[in-house]
Amino acid sequence: MRILGIDPGYATTGFGLILSEGSTLQLLQYGTVTTPKDLSFPQRLEMLYDDVMRLVEAVKPDAAAVEELFWGHNITTGIGVSHGRGVILLALAKSGVPIFEYTPMQVKQAVVGYGKAEKRQVMDMTKRLLHMEKVARPDDAADAIAIALCHARAKSSLLSRLGQMTEGT
């Protein structure tokens, strides 16, 4: 299964594509989608939509894992990121990619085993699980890889398999 992890934003959106086959995990590609500051906000959203559509067409994921937003202290930034996240979800839905959403705590729990892990712990464990030489940069891309890993681990969990078994009976 090709899983596209996305760390949403409107200025910078991180993405990470992994291949999950049974217990084997492989990092295929990662990076960021950025929008120029000199464009108007609606133009940046349009560019983000177009770029995510092109990304999905290029990498052909079987599923997309998108991080749910954590609202910090800067509500103005949070609102902009929310708009960007909405555009990303729309692009994925229009592309027909199944979408799965995870909270930051779920990502930390799946990758590190502790829902209140620190960012550096998540990055280090991501590096180890995918046999990477170094932590992915920028942070947005590293976060997106962790989100993809979260989905890979959620889909291979015992509870997930039990759910599939009961649905088919």
pLDDT interval class at 22 (50, 70, 90): confident
What is the pLDDT averaged over residues 128-150? 96
Mean pLDDT lowest for which of 31-45, 75-89, 116-130?
Answer: 75-89
pLDDT for the residue numbered 169: 42
Q: Which residues fall within 8 angstroms of residue 53, CB to CB, at 6 or more apart?
A: 91, 94, 95
Q: What is the pLDDT of residue 38?
A: 97
Is 68 a known active-site residue? Answer: no
Residue 7 confidence (pLDDT) above 60? yes
Would you say residue 158 has pLDDT above 60? no
Q: What are phi and psi of 115, to 5 degrees?
A: -65, -15
pLDDT of residue 74: 57
Catalytic-residue membership of 140: yes
The answer on pLDDT for 167 being more than 50 is no
Query: Structural domain tally of the chain?
Result: 1
What percent of the chain is modeled with pLDDT above 70?
Answer: 87
Q: What is the mean pLDDT of residues 74-91?
A: 86
Which structural domain range is residue 111 located in?
2-168
Structure pTM?
Answer: 0.89
Strands of 9-156 (E only): list them. Answer: 12-21, 24-34, 63-67, 99-102
Per-residue burial over 41-60, b if 16 or more Cβ lie within 10 Å, else e, is eeebbebbbebbeebbeeee
CB 165 within 8 A of CB 33: no
The rounded distance, in Å, linking the Cα atoms of 38 and 14 is: 20
**C-alpha Rg value of the chain to the nearest Å:** 16
Active-site residue (options: 67, 118, 133, 143):
67
Nearest of 26, 30, 28, 3 to residue 107 by alpha carbon: 3
Vertex 55, ends 52 and 61: CA angle to 5°?
Answer: 110
139 catalytic? Reply is: no
Catalytic residue among 46, 140, 143, 167: 140
CATH number of the domain encompassing residue 81? 3.30.420.10
Q: What pLDDT score was predicted for residue 29?
A: 97
Phi–psi pair at 33, nearest 5 degrees: -110, 125
